[in-house]
Amino acid sequence: MVAKRAAAVAARTRIVLVEDHAVFQQGLTWIIEQESGFEVCGTAAEGHEALARIKALKPDLVIVDIGLPGMDGIELTRRIRESFPKVLILILSMYKETLYAERALKAGANGYLMKRENGEAVIAAIRAVVAGRTYVSPEFSEAMLQRVAAAGRKTGAFALDLLSDRELQVYRRLGQGRSTRQIADELIISMKTVEAHKERIRAKMNLATNADLIQQAIHWARSEDLPD
């Protein structure tokens, strides 16, 4: 009996949750631990803490919120993949913009799941990733195929594709009405660096002024219903 119990524990998928909202973190932990074979062995609220937890706990899977403060989920995914290549990564996101899913997968994520999905979808995504499959929320699958098809038809460049991950972070926050100082504080960078990113974004998107940049960013944020 003891041997069987020890074998069952050893067979569990050990999971670290990286989520800065405590209530959501607790709810997700409860959902996961209702399923046999899954164990939440640790949690973290930001990127550097997550890397330390992964090093110490050696989980099988890390579930990462894309909207973390400072080091966002895509950057954290890239660092996890570099330092812990065998660890599986499932991204949780509130963003419906397909571009984020594409960038997460390119950074090394094994799956991308919308936060508004129910508990059954969360478990299905975890099981798919653990089984060695790439999981993407159904609404993204078709949208990603459409983007690939459009690119293949050479219907024009996608302006946001030209932005680096950090530039996209700045652009999104501009669209949400953040000031330069607020963006600097949230991303833990200097105001000068934020201004440099804004200049590069303007150049890449062929926008004449900062007012044009902010107007376009706001329009994009509203059209994509990006949360504050």
pLDDT > 70? residue 153: no
Of 215 and 55, the one with more pLDDT: 55
Q: Give the pLDDT confidence of 40-56 residue by residue, as tens digits.
A: 999 999 999 999 999 99
Q: Give the pLDDT confidence of 61-112 residue by residue, as tens digits.
A: 999 999 888 888 999 999 999 999 999 999 998 876 677 888 888 899 999 9
Of 25-29, 79-83, 125-129, 224-228, the poorest mean pLDDT is in: 224-228
Can you tell me the distance from the alpha carbon of 74 to that of 79, in angstroms, rounded to the nearest whole number?
A: 9
Domains in the chain: ranges and CATH = 2-144 (3.40.50.2300), 159-223 (1.10.10.10)
Q: What is the pLDDT of residue 226?
A: 53
Can you tell me the distance from the alpha carbon of 194 to that of 93, in angstroms, rounded to the nearest whole number?
A: 24
The band of 147, judged by pLDDT with boundaries at 50, 70 and 90, is low
Q: What is the pLDDT of residue 140?
A: 66
Q: CA geometry: angle at 102 spanning 149 and 104, to 5°?
A: 170
Q: Between β-strands 38-44 and 111-114, what pairing exists: parallel, antiparallel or unpaired?
A: unpaired
Q: CA geometry: angle at 104 spanning 87 and 44, to 5°?
A: 55
pTM over 0.85, yes/no = no
Q: What is the pLDDT of residue 214?
A: 86
In the sheet with 38-44, reading across from the earlier edge strand, the strands are 38-44, 13-18, 61-65, 88-93, 111-114, 135-136
Burial 134-161 (b: 16+ CB within 10 A, else e): ebbbeebeebbeeeeeeeeeeeeeeebe
Of 43 and 158, the one with more pLDDT: 43
In a 10 Å sphere around its CB, with 0-12 CB exposed, 13-18 middle and 19+ buried, how is residue 116 labelled?
A: exposed
pLDDT > 50? residue 5: no
The band of 172, judged by pLDDT with boundaries at 50, 70 and 90, is confident
Q: What is the pLDDT of residue 49?
A: 96
Can you tell me the distance from the alpha carbon of 209 to that of 1, in angstroms, rounded to the nearest whole number?
A: 72
For the chain, give the mean pLDDT: 83
Closest CA to 92 of 75, 69, 71, 109: 109
Tokens of 167: 């530039």
